[in-house]
Each structure stands twice: as C-alpha cells, then as structure tokens.
Amino acid sequence: MKKFLPYALFLTFMMSLVVGQLSASAEGSVKIQKVNKDTIIYEEPSTNSVEIGELAKGSFIIVTQVSKGWTHIQTPEQAGYVTSDVLVQVKSEGYLVIQKDGTTLFTAPSQNAQHVGQLYEGRVVYVYGTAPGGWSFVQYGEDTGYVATNALKKPVPTKKQITAPDGAVLRLTASPNGEVLGTIANKTTVQYYITLAGWAYVEVNDQKGYVKASELANIQLTNNKVYNKGVPAEKGAKKRVALTFDDGPDAKVTPQILATLKKYDAKATFFMVGKNVSRNTAIVKQVYEAGHEIGNHTSNHKKLTSLSIAGVKQEVNGTSNAIYTAIGQYPTVFRPPYGATNDQVRSIMTIPSILWSIDTLDWKHHNPDKILASVKASVKDGSIILMHDIHQTTANGLDNVLLYLQKQGYEFVTVSDILQ
C-alpha cells in the first residue's frame, strides 16, 4: 500500500478530470512463474534444510534468483527456496481495471486475505492466470496479488507511431523516474492503449511500458489515393471493419452514436460537414477525445466534380480549418460528397480520399433493420461501412449492427487503421 498511496490520490484526482485514463506499469524486471505441483519451501537450497512453508499447485510466485536446480522465490507472505522443476513459465496480458471505485489487490484469492493495495479504474495490470472463485493473479509495478476477475477488461488498442527523432524512451511506470526498459525507434508503429497525465501505455513486439504521450502521433497517410476498402488483418489477428458516419455532427444523434460505440469499445471515423462543425464544436471535441478519427466531408456538401478548382479548395480548406479550430488537429482523411472525385479534386488533396465497401443506404430507407441486413449481406475483413450520424434511425439501429459484428469476431477500427 505504501508506494501506491500518493499516486493513488493523484490518480483519483485525475480520474475526476478525465474518464478512462490510466496509471500502471509494465512487467519490467519482475519475473513471475507458476507452481506446477504442490511443493515445499526450504530455508536454504537443500532438501536437508528447514522447511518453512508450502506452495499449492497453481500458485504464482516471484522469482528472485535461480541456481543449480534451485529457485529462490517470494510470495506476499513468504520467501525461500523451491526446486526449479516445480515451476513453469507463464505469459502475461495487459488488462484494464474497469471497476468504478477501483478494486483491492489481495495476497491470496480470498476476500479475507491481506490487502496489498487498491488498484484504481483505468490502470493497466498484467494478468498471469486465474484462481478458482473468480480471481486473477496480477502484477502492478512491483506489486503482485489477486483481484476479482470481473473488475478487469481486455482493452482494445489502436495503432500509433513514435515521432521522436532519437527514439522514445520506454519506461516501466508513467513517470520520468520510471525504470528504463529500452528505446523505441522513431517511426515505429506501436499498439497504443491509454494515456495518463502525459504518459502513453504502449506495446510493441515483446516490449510493454510507457512513453511520453507527446512522442506518439496518429498514423497518417499523406497520399491523395482513393480507397474503398481496408487491408486484410494481420495473420492471427481479428477481422476488422471501419464504421464511418457522414454529414454530422448532429447535436442529438452524434452523442447517441458515441454512447453506443463506447459500449462496444468501438473506434469509428466521422466525416464531418464544415457548417455542422462550426455549430457543434463541443461535440467535435467529444468525438475526437473518445479516440475516433475525424474526416473532412467539405463545408457545404457540394458535388466537387461540378466546381472550379478554386471552389473545391474553398470547400475542402474551409472544413479543415473549422476542424482545426475545434480540436487543434487537422482531419486525417477526406470523403468527397456522393463519392464524386476526379483528377482535379485529387490534385489538391494531401490526405487519402475514402469511399466505402458497404453503403447501408440509411439516409434513404430510415430503417434500422435494413441497415443490419445490408451489413450482414456483404461484410468482410477490411470493409468500410457507410452510415450517417444525422438520422435518428441510424443511431437506433447501431447497437444491433455492432452486436452482430462483434459476434462475428470483428474489431472496430478507424479508417486510417484499416488502410494499413
């Protein structure tokens, strides 16, 4: 508890400001193994030495030293030697603490065990395995113990890129004093989970930990190509779809769509019309801060292929600037109204133009069941799905679409993510 407390208080304060942030740590130098069969703990590395305790099969221990067939181990309650052959390697996975008031870390899988500390909402912990009764053995920094499994959730990462000319220093904890685990080279693509007080938790290959959030950027394509689908998921990874919502933001419908996306941990892309951006800057911010991608859909939704080049520039730049005013970032993708583009339109683009693989025709039929039917009929890995966040019926139908796609094993990512 001692080393958690000041940070925990700080964290509670942060939580009141921003929902979904996190503190946490990576595995670092703490090495955890699992006990493969019931065994005795000896005081010295010899079966003739004093027996100081027992370990049940399935227990987790911290390895402190290994030599000549003996391993020195530590648990919250005891320390000593066991024969190395009773121990097996275990892999860990990062999970988020989702319990609103946090959850207690116990020394053993029981409510009656001693408290190690409190883990607050938004922290990333490493789960090494489970114990009967709904318990998970976790590591947080140098602390280990058991928490209720239902207080944890596997987070969905998004891809980001390191932007630090000399590389980004990866640390064990979200602090400038955190143990240095290594350096991640500039331009490396990483899996990004969450940010706390300027530190971003990332994973790349076998490395996990924190880099400065300022050294991470959205992956952005800077070409003027036209895309209508994404690339297939990497081998062994989940299938992906990119949900896109056009013509908003709308003061009523967009927040409902955001709430449904959140329920499914879904990331989406919103192609916004400039005049609606200026009217609803608070909602633009809300969309951006929830981790969705913001796209440009022109200022007045005109058919660009009928305009002069000056007219096209005005339609595109007006919305780019309105979005910049709202969130301090320019849009990363563009969608021409009606999908109408040509060489003249592309000649002024510096970001990709995104069409779609599935047109739900939600604007035409205003029927939630038909949205689902069109998705069911044609969805596949890499699909870009077109909907509109200005129709109440689209918001009403979204939950069923997400439920269906989730059951089919899809992950919901942004357009920029699905293009690479």
247: contact with Ni ion by CB under 5 A: yes
Q: CB nearest Ni ion: which residue? A: 246
143: contact with Ni ion by CB under 5 A: no
Q: Which of 362, 388, 389, 417 is catalytic?
A: 388
Contact 50, 44 (CB under 8 A): yes
Residue count at the site for Ni ion (CB under 5 A)? 3
339 — alpha (psi -120 to 50), left (phi > 0) or beta? left
Of the pair 375, 390, the CB lying nearest Ni ion is at: 390
With CB under 5 A as the contact rule, which of the stretches 46-54, 126-134, 165-173, 334-342 interacts with Ni ion? 334-342
**Separation between Cα atoms, residue 349 and residue 364, nearest integer Å:** 29
Which two tokens mark 222? 């800077």
In whole angstroms, how close is the CB of 388 to Ni ion at the nearest point? 7
Of the pair 246, 315, the CB lying nearest Ni ion is at: 246
315: contact with Ni ion by CB under 5 A: no
Of the pair 246, 411, the CB lying nearest Ni ion is at: 246
Q: What is the x/- site pattern for Ni ion, positions 6-45, by CB under 5 A?
A: ----------------------------------------
Check if 143 is active-site: no
Contact 194, 155 (CB under 8 A): yes
In whole angstroms, how close is the CB of 248 to Ni ion at the nearest point? 10
Of the pair 247, 381, the CB lying nearest Ni ion is at: 247
* C-alpha separations of 174 from 104, 105, 216, 258, 294 in Å: 21, 20, 14, 28, 28
Q: What is the x/- site pattern for Ni ion, positions 337-366, by CB under 5 A?
A: x-----------------------------
With CB under 5 A as the contact rule, which of the stretches 151-159, 166-174, 240-248, 398-406 interacts with Ni ion? 240-248
In whole angstroms, how close is the CB of 408 to Ni ion at the nearest point? 27
Check if 166 is active-site: no
Q: Cα 233 to the chain's mean position, in Å?
A: 17
246: contact with Ni ion by CB under 5 A: yes
In whole angstroms, how close is the CB of 246 to Ni ion at the nearest point? 4
Q: Which of 143, 246, 362, 389 is catalytic?
A: 246
With CB under 5 A as the contact rule, which of the stretches 49-57, 79-87, 132-140, 336-344 interacts with Ni ion? 336-344
250: contact with Ni ion by CB under 5 A: no
Of the pair 102, 337, the CB lying nearest Ni ion is at: 337
Of the pair 58, 339, the CB lying nearest Ni ion is at: 339
Which residues carry out catalysis?
246, 388
- Residues interacting with Ni ion, by CB under 5 A? 246-247, 337
